[in-house]
Structure 1
Amino acid sequence: MNEHVHGAVDLTKNQSLVMGALTRSKEPLSAYTILDQLRDNGFRAPLQVYRALDKLVEFGLVHRLESLNAFVACRHPGCDGDDTITFMICERCGQVNELTDNALAKRLKLLAEDASFALKKTTIELRGICRRCQIA
């Protein structure tokens, strides 16, 4: 059974393999790409990958990028406690940068409160061209 121990998580074999694939990747991966990469490790069905991804997302180790229908390893330790996470996604190279902004998080929380909306979590995806691609 997985337990949080001092911020650490005891991962199953499948979760560790999926986490490894995401950590090694420089760009977001779809569940099917992960499945293809892990076939030699005994993965045969998308459900195996999705189960592992669901748990990794729950543990705050992985994020789902809705606009890409893909997943990335968390590059900002401890962000699972943040209410607002922002991703900058380069449309040329696929690089994803993760950041948090407390002022933005507060503003969004106030907007939600003004609308009598019980905000739980916000994920913002900014699409554009990264600095490296702009100068290339």
Structure 2
Amino acid sequence: MTKRGEQMRAEILAVLREADGAMSAYDVLHRLQASHPKIAPPTVYNALAALTKTGRVHRVESLKAYIACQCDGTHKLAVLSICDGCGTVEERTAPRLVENLSGFVEETGFMPQRHVIEVHGLCSSCSSNA
């Protein structure tokens, strides 16, 4: 990867870490246009794909958005709790849950390639205000 690509990934990761919640690729693009007026969507999508592949970013499938990995980045399997009230996304690891899920689907000969576990509900702040 070129220095320019590494720099762009670092900037995108910083934008996601500063965000209050999950961001779409276009939200990231708009945030970067102030410092990179000619930035194009493929640049952002390619960087997000690379960051997702290395586990530094998670794609929140149900929101079609991204968040920076909140853990140490050494894992790729996370359970994402998504608050439908305020939009916060919390990340937790659950290795046994993923192992059990994989074992369950493998009984039929299915070979899982990727796990996406998302739980929608209300965070503690939103549920106490409800």
TM normalised by structure 2 equals 0.89
What's the C-alpha RMSD, in Å, of the aligned pairs? 1.5
Which of 64, 73, 93 aligns to 1:100? It is: 93
Instruction: Name the residue aligned to 2:116.
Output: 123
Structure that is richer in strand per residue = 1
Runs (5+) with no aligned partner, structure 2: none
SS of residue matched to 2:113: coil
Instruction: Name the residue aligned to 2:56.
Output: 61
Deviations 1:83-124 (A, max 9, x none): x42100000111101112233112111111211111122111
Aligned length: 125
Q: Does 1:40 align with 2:34?
A: yes
Deviations 1:9-37 (A, max 9, x none): xx611111111100101200001111111
Distance 1:101 1:35 in 2: 32
Runs (5+) with no aligned partner, structure 1: 3-10
SS of residue matched to 2:63: coil
Structure 1 132/74 Cα, relative in aligned 2: closer, same or farther at 3 Å?
same
Name the % identity. Answer: 32
Instruction: Name the residue aligned to 1:79.
Output: 75
Instruction: Name the residue aligned to 2:15.
Output: 21
